[in-house]
Structure 1
Amino acid sequence: MDFSLVELSEEDQAFRDEARRFLAEHVTDEVRRHDRETGDNFHEGLHLKFGAAGYLAAEWQTESEGGFSRVQRRIWELEKRRARVPWVTWGTTAMVARSVTKFGSAELVEEVLPGVFSGHVRMCLGYTEPEGGSDVATCKTRAVRDGDSWVINGSKMFTTGAHNCQYVFLITNTDPHARKHKSLTMFLVPLDSPGIEIRGIRTVDGDRTNIVYYSDVRVDDKYRLGEVNGGWTVLREPLNVEHGAVAPAPDGLQDTSIMMHQAGVMAEAVDRVAAQVTRPGPGGYRLLDDGSVAYRLGRGVARVEAALSAPGIFGRVAIAQTMRDISSDLMDVLGTAAALPFGLTARPMTAAPNMSTASHRWSESTAAHWKCSAT
């Protein structure tokens, strides 16, 4: 299929126009301010509006189930990105919901799925442990059976969104004597259960994640997903999605890799720096006239373009590496203005339109590399 030119049908054009109108109305300055100040990458009021308007159900369901068509899905993804919708918590919720429908009981699906579609139920990932590194199969969080329940003890790091969620997709060890991939059991644990403590952690870019402690947390067996000691089977599919190790869609209507959102952040930073260095200062001098600046900017543009073209899991690695490599160059080009926090106006040479926005994007990009390298 040739995507050099895509002509939308009248129906798809109308869908795009309505999506833009909806996002322009509801993704307000208050939503963006809340995201900057909390670092949550989530806004409950906005999320509930998506649910009430039917967008969450349509995005999650297939076309045959009443969801978006493939073209509409792609339009919706791109328009959300354009509007800078806080997205992380919905991403984890949608991914976990698929595991719940595949491995959970009918009772659990009925408890969870309607709330997912309305926006009232959100789910986060309980994988990494404080000293476990990126190998989630070395899980030390224990779940011990006690009649019709399980008692869970342990802790998890980087449980992003836990303070805004109702359930955690939790990996536990149910047989400490078995081989590590044969000792795991997955649970969907209600986060209002007694014995759970959530503590916030700030990352280098100001985002919030959490460490979650589980102290004698009692969970009914109905919240178990899949077989006892069969957790790796349950976990493997969402891990593949998170790492970008999934087959591409035959119609090409998808991102080339899992980190295209972060790549867009980096591309915007490059564009902002390019706009700044081509702006004449006093006496008509431009930063771009300095050969070292032109070289660094050109190298950054080339690296971003190459990373955007890399598919699948290769693209994930290429984008993460590129963000780390070129961020320091871009900050050097801008100079001291790169140290300004989001929301201030920097004027290193002449009037510059909120260049601190770009510096925030750089810190986002650096943090994104660190986060993705840890998974």
Structure 2
Amino acid sequence: MDFTRVELSDDDAAFQAEARRFLADIVTDEVRRRDRETGDNFDEAVHLALGAAGYLEGEYQPEDRGGFTRIRRRIWELEKRRAHVPWVTWGTTIMVARSVGAFGRPELVAEVLPKVLSGHVRMCLGYTEPEGGSDIATCKTRAVRDGDGWVINGSKMFTTGAHNCQYTFLITNTDPQAPKHKSLTMFLLPLDLPGVEIQGIRTIDGDRTNIVYYSDVRVDDKYVLGDVNNGWAVLRGPLDAEHGAVAGIPDGLQDIAIMAHQGGFMSAAVDAVAAQVAPTVDDGSVAYRLGRSAARMEASLSTPSIFGRVALAQTMRDIGPDLMDIAGPASMLPIETPGAADDGASEYLYRFAPLAGIYGGTLEVFRNMIAQHVLALGKPNYSPPRTAS
């Protein structure tokens, strides 16, 4: 018996066929080429088309409010990947939109959410700071009360998609004297306010992210999410979703782990290298190394929850160099370069893998989270070693 497939009803099969046709029409070779060149992982025309056709609303809303059924949600996720839909900005938007719905004032919800579902409003994550590392609770960006509003000063690193977004989900410090988790306030900050400056940064895999500067930015009180100095409560939901620490529904109709989408680049590289070397390989060591890479890949793709997030990112880092070595010197040529051994799949994996290990926090941070919250091993001790007296 094949346990990997769900028998689709006629209606669900028709939904799949229509979704595949629709995506093939709007996600063209030109869209994919432009996305590789810009590194944006976003295309406004595609995004607006998805909104106009109701796909964004179907993905955002729960089933009892007109959203996709569980099976159609899974179909949609897989068809988006098949078509290589530029998706990152929608990924951040949908996380933030849920917090806006839960913690935003009614007038803010009415202003923002309908335009999220039409595709005209996108939102990014204003978390990391230039000197803050993965501990975003050490936030130094200050928000100071000024009459009926606030004045914000500071900067954020790695605000991916900011140049294509209308709002940022901004963590600020509103009480520097308080303990760090009691000093935070979240804003849904409009990015067109005076004093906001967005500068692009290119990562090693060719993606674009941003550093965003906030200089005496004045924002109305209505853009505060939740209570002042209780921003951690607002932030926890999106953080848990980004970390893969959210319990899955036990029907199997979701990714096993949060990094499964990124794991697809690893699968593509293994398949491409295997296809390239298989017809000519007569070296047992090459076959062993290729098999070892494939086995590690399959194990990581089958690892659930936050464990899978670590396993997938670590495996990408480990097998990328092996795949390039197996494919030979021509594997150093990037995608769509004449003469590339595997159409650039392993070369891209090699450049992408280090970033997969820092998204949402470094692998070391996630290992500490597993140690503390799953294995109950306590917090790490970073104090200097004692010296003998």
TM-score range, shorter chain: over 0.9
Residue 216 (structure 1) aligned with residue 200 (structure 2):
no
- Provide the C-alpha distance between the structure 2 equivalents of 1:269 and 1:149, rounded to a whole number of angstroms: 51
Q: Which residue of 1 aligns with 2:353?
A: 365
Residues 265, 345 of structure 2: 8 Å contact kept:
no
**Structure 2 CA distance, aligned partners of 1:242 and 1:337?**
36
Alignment of 1:75-114 (within 5 A): 75-114=75-114
* Aligned mates of 1:358, 1:325 — CA distance in 2: 12
The answer to whether structure 1 residue 205 and structure 2 residue 198 are counterparts is no
1:327 and 2:315 aligned: no
State the partner residue of 2:282: 289
- The Cα shift of 1:265 comes to 1.0
Report how many residues are paired.
362
Would the aligned equivalents of 2:162 and 2:210 in 1 still touch at CA under 8 Å? yes
1:356 corresponds to which residue? Answer: 344
Q: Distance in 1 between matches of 2:4 and 2:84?
A: 25
- Indicate the SS of the match to 2:359: helix
SS of 1:263's partner is: helix
Work out the CA distance in 1 between the residues paired with 2:211 and 2:257: 28
Partners of 1:256 and 1:312 within 8 A in 2: yes
Q: How far apart are residue 371 of structure 1 and its match?
A: 3.2
Q: What does 1:1-375 correspond to in 2, within 5 Å?
A: 3-279=3-279, 286=280, 288-346=281-339, 355-374=343-362
CA contact (8 A) 1:304 1:319 kept: yes
Q: Which amino acid aligns with 1:322?
A: T
Measured after TM superposition, the shift of residue 264 of structure 1 is: 1.1
1: CA distance, partners of 2:44 / 2:17:
24
Partner deviation per Cα, 1:27-57 (whole Å, 9 max, x = no partner): 1011101111000000011000000101000
Q: List structure 1 segments (4+ residues) > 6 angstroms apart after TM superposition.
A: none
Deviation at 1:330, TM superposition (A): 0.7
Q: Is the 2:187–2:223 contact (alpha carbons within 8 Å) kept by the matching residues of 1?
A: yes
2:357 aligned counterpart, secondary structure: helix
* Separation in 2, partners of 1:172, 1:37: 33
Q: Relative to 1, partners in 2 of residues 1:203 and 1:187: Cα closer, same or farther, differing over 3 Å?
A: same
- Counterpart AA for 1:371: Y
Amino acid at match of 2:309: R
Distance 1:230 1:130 in 2: 23
CA distance in 2 between counterparts of 1:71 and 1:265 reads 24
Would the alpha carbon gap of residues 186 and 372 (structure 1) be closer, same or farther in structure 2, given more than 3 Å must change? closer
Sequence identity (%): 71
What CA distance in whole angstroms lies between the structure 2 residues aligned with 1:341 and 1:357?
Answer: 8
CA distance in 2, matches of 1:246, 1:339: 38
Task: Tell me if the contact between 1:158 and 1:209 (Cα under 8 Å) persists in the aligned partners.
Answer: yes
**Code of the aligned partner of 1:325:** D
Counterparts of 1:347 and 1:60, CA distance in 2: 40
SS of the equivalent of 1:337 reads helix
Q: Is the 8 Å Cα contact of residues 334 and 343 (structure 2) preserved in structure 1?
A: no
Equivalent-residue separation in structure 1 for 2:137 and 2:116 (angstroms): 28
Shift of 1:342: 2.2
SS of the residue corresponding to residue 219 of structure 1 reads strand
Paired residue type of 2:262? Q
Q: For residues 347 and 145 of structure 1, what CA distance do their matches in structure 2 show?
A: 57
What's the CA shift for 1:372?
A: 4.8
Residue 372 of structure 2 is matched in structure 1 by: none
Counterpart residue identity of residue 55, structure 1: Y
Unaligned runs of 5+ in 1: 280-285, 349-353
Structure 1 CA distance for aligned equivalents of residues 355 and 284 of structure 2: 29
* Partner Cα distance (1:5, 1:371) in 2: 31
CA gap of 1:372–1:266, structure 2 versus 1, over 3 A, is: farther
Partner of 1:371, secondary structure, is coil
CA distance in 2, matches of 1:330, 1:4: 27
Report the secondary structure of 1:289's partner residue. Answer: coil
Counterparts in 2 of 1:260 and 1:30: CA distance versus 1, 3 Å: same
Q: Which residue of 1 aligns with 2:384?
A: none
Q: Which runs of 5+ in 2 are unaligned?
A: 366-389
- Once the 2 structures are TM-superposed, how far is the Cα of residue 101 of structure 1 from its aligned partner? 0.3
CA distance in 1, matches of 2:287, 2:355: 26
Q: Give a deviation string over 1:236-285, Cα, whole Å, max 9, x none.
A: 11000000001111222110110000111101110000000113xxxxxx
Alpha-carbon distance in structure 1 between the residues aligned to 2:318 and 2:50: 36
Alpha-carbon RMSD across the aligned residues, in angstroms, is 1.3
What SS does the corresponding residue of 2:168 show, helix, strand or coil?
A: strand
3-state DSSP of counterpart to 1:159: coil
Instruction: After TM superposition, give the deviation of residue 373 of structure 1 in Å.
Output: 4.3
CA-CA distance at 1:347 after TM superposition:
5.9
SS of equivalent to 1:330 = helix
The residue identity in structure 2 corresponding to 1:251 is D
Determine helix, strand or coil for the equivalent of 1:49.
Answer: helix
> How many angstroms apart in 2 are the aligned matches of 1:347 and 1:183?
52
